[in-house]
């Protein structure tokens, strides 16, 4: 399966996918990495792996819709089977979802439907939950609302900070992402409303 991965930051989830894809039996290859900003470690990781990159910055386009269409076009040039948003800090819009709805995945560092949005680890810590985790989902028009592909849990420790909790989540999140994307590449994914399962 051909993967395009979109990033906005450090790209540790991307790196986990790049490392997994080095084994041919994994069943997937990262064919391009896109970003919504320049100068991030995620793009440097792609370059070190010899993977083509592109950047689409919202401020370079006359409207959010124009950016969304341009992003969809950049992605389409690499003909992916699956698009993975790996720490991509923008919501994709209607043009993108027209082209890639049902085969765009995102990870969220909380157990959906709890704590959607940008502050999942901080919100979980503030609420006082004892277990949190990460959710892999099929992107829809909402914020972290898409049908759930996989979830993984981690404990919240008494002395956690937002950073220590997010780090623990990210370790589990990367393992979940690599495991699930490999299964999708090898087995397929069936999406039936909100019910998602691996398989043809």
> Footprint of ligand GRF on this chain (CB under 6 A)?
7, 9-14, 42, 86-87, 107-109, 170, 173
Choose the catalytic residue: 108, 166, 168, 170: 108
CB of 40 to ligand GRF, least distance (A): 8
Peptide bond into 113 cis (omega under 30): yes
Pick the closer one to ligand GRF by CB: 87 or 146.
87
Cα–Cα distance list, 58 to 8, 37, 55 (Å): 12, 9, 10
Rounded Cα distance between 96 and 86, Å, is 16
Binding residues for (6R)-10-formyltetrahydrofolate: 64, 89-92, 106
CB of 197 to ligand GRF, least distance (A): 22
Pick the closer one to ligand GRF by CB: 69 or 104.
104
Q: Is 53 helix (H, G, I), strand (E, B) or coil?
A: strand
Pick the closer one to ligand GRF by CB: 32 or 86.
86
CB of 170 to ligand GRF, least distance (A): 5
Rounded Cα distance between 84 and 8, Å, is 12
Catalytic (active site) residue 108: yes
Rounded Cα distance between 105 and 198, Å, is 13
Q: For residue 7, what are its two tokens?
A: 């990033």
CB closest to ligand GRF, residue no = 87
Binding residues: 11-13, 64, 89-92, 106
CB of 2 to ligand GRF, least distance (A): 20
Question: Please, which residues have CB within 8 angstroms of residue 26's CB and are 6 or more apart in sequence?
Answer: 20, 182, 185
Residues annotated as part of the active site: 108
């Amino acid at each position: 399966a051909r993967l395009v991965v979109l990033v906005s930051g450090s790209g540790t989830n991307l790196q986990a996918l790049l490392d997994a894809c080095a084994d041919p039996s994994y069943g997937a290859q990262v064919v391009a990495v896109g970003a919504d900003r320049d100068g991030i470690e995620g793009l440097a990781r792609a370059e070190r792996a010899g993977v083509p990159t592109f950047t689409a910055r919202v401020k370079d386009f006359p409207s959010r819709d124009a950016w969304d269409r341009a992003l969809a076009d950049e992605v389409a040039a690499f003909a992916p089977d699956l698009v993975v948003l790996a720490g991509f800090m923008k919501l994709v819009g209607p043009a993108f979802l027209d082209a890639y709805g049902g085969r765009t995945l995102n990870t969220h560092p909380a157990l959906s439907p709890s704590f959607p949005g940008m502050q999942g680890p901080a919100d979980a810590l503030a609420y006082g939950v004892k277990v949190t985790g990460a959710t892999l989902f099929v992107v829809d028009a909402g914020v972290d609302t898409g049908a759930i592909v996989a979830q993984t849990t981690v404990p919240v420790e008494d002395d956690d900070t937002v950073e220590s909790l997010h780090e623990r989540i990210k370790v589990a999140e990367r393992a979940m992402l690599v495991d699930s994307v490999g299964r999708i590449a090898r087995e397929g994914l069936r999406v039936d409303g909100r019910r998602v399962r691996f398989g043809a």
